Amino acid sequence: MMLQSNTLRRLEEMLAEAVISGDRNKPSGPILLKAMKLSEQPQNIVDFYELLNKAEEEARSIRNKPNINRYLQTIEELHKVFVLNHVWNTKWEIFAAHIEGKGILNTLDALAEFFNSQNPAMFLDQDFLEKLNGEFVDLLDRIIESNLSNELKRFLIERIEDILKAIRRYHIDGTEGLKKATKSLVSDLVMTTYY
């Protein structure tokens, strides 16, 4: 089975990790950030809400599936629970009980499968991302030290920094974010050299 790269899958895996390993008597914010592999700083909780929003958008884009509204209702209720309760300080038990009691993980799993069947994208593992990051950092250094014009240098540096940002944000934007940044570099390069 090919590992999937979609936001629904990332949300399902992250919530599963949090439900399994999170201390139910501790505040939820740090538990969610740990499951997302982010530093436990309050401002990073925005990334969790971004993940939740993108997952809901993906779910809404699924077409030709019977009873899809039931699945959408479940994810909307999950979103509502995370918005109505102060996620940073509320005990993890509140959210974990909702996730388990409402079959959230099964719903997210099914939605991820539905989405992947209509929008397949390959999952990139951490080792590959680290190697890719290293290669783009090396390229960035070479461009900075090159004899290229300042205008071309600035252009290439901006596009490569976009790709490096997409690599850092892979846990949220997935393969799609990396694909957009790479396509932007290639299409802008073609336009620049063509005109």
| Number of residues that make up the chain | 195
Sequence-separated (6 or more) residues with CB below 8 Å from residue 64: none
> Which position has the token pair 């895996």?
13
Between CA 86 and CA 91, with CA 87 as vertex, the angle to 5 degrees is: 95
132 in the same domain as 111: no
139 in the same domain as 114: no
> Which position has the token pair 């914010």?
29
105 in the same domain as 16: yes
147 in the same domain as 107: no
Distances (CA, A) of 57 to 14, 100, 131: 17, 22, 30
Q: Is residue 151 assigned to a domain?
A: yes
153 in the same domain as 107: no
Q: Residue 192's pLDDT band (boundaries 50, 70, 90)?
A: low
**pLDDT at residue 73 in the model:** 94
Write the DSSP symbol of residue 3. P
102 in the same domain as 17: yes
Nearest to 48 by CA among 40, 36, 66, 64: 36
Sequence-separated (6 or more) residues with CB below 8 Å from residue 24: 91, 92, 93, 96
Provide the token pair at 6.
């979609």
- What is the C-alpha separation between 119 and 157, in angstroms, rounded? 31
79 in the same domain as 21: yes
**pLDDT at residue 14 in the model:** 94
Q: Which of 92, 118, 144 is the last residue of a domain?
A: 118
188 in the same domain as 147: yes
- What is the C-alpha separation between 142 and 25, in angstroms, rounded? 50
Distances (CA, A) of 183 to 47, 123, 159, 169, 177: 24, 18, 10, 17, 10
If one counts the domains in the chain, the total is: 2
171 or 132, higher pLDDT: 132
151 in the same domain as 64: no
Range 12-35 average pLDDT: 96
Range 87-93 average pLDDT: 94
Q: Residue 193's pLDDT band (boundaries 50, 70, 90)?
A: low
Q: Residue 170's pLDDT band (boundaries 50, 70, 90)?
A: confident
**pLDDT at residue 172 in the model:** 73
Q: Which of 118, 134, 163 is the last residue of a domain?
A: 118
Q: Which of 95, 118, 141 is the last residue of a domain?
A: 118
Which domain covers residue 131, as residue numbers?
126-194
- What is the C-alpha separation between 71 and 49, in angstroms, rounded? 19
Q: Cα 92 from chain centroid?
A: 22
- What is the C-alpha separation between 162 and 2, in angstroms, rounded? 27
Provide the token pair at 174.
């997935």
Q: Is residue 1 assigned to a domain?
A: no
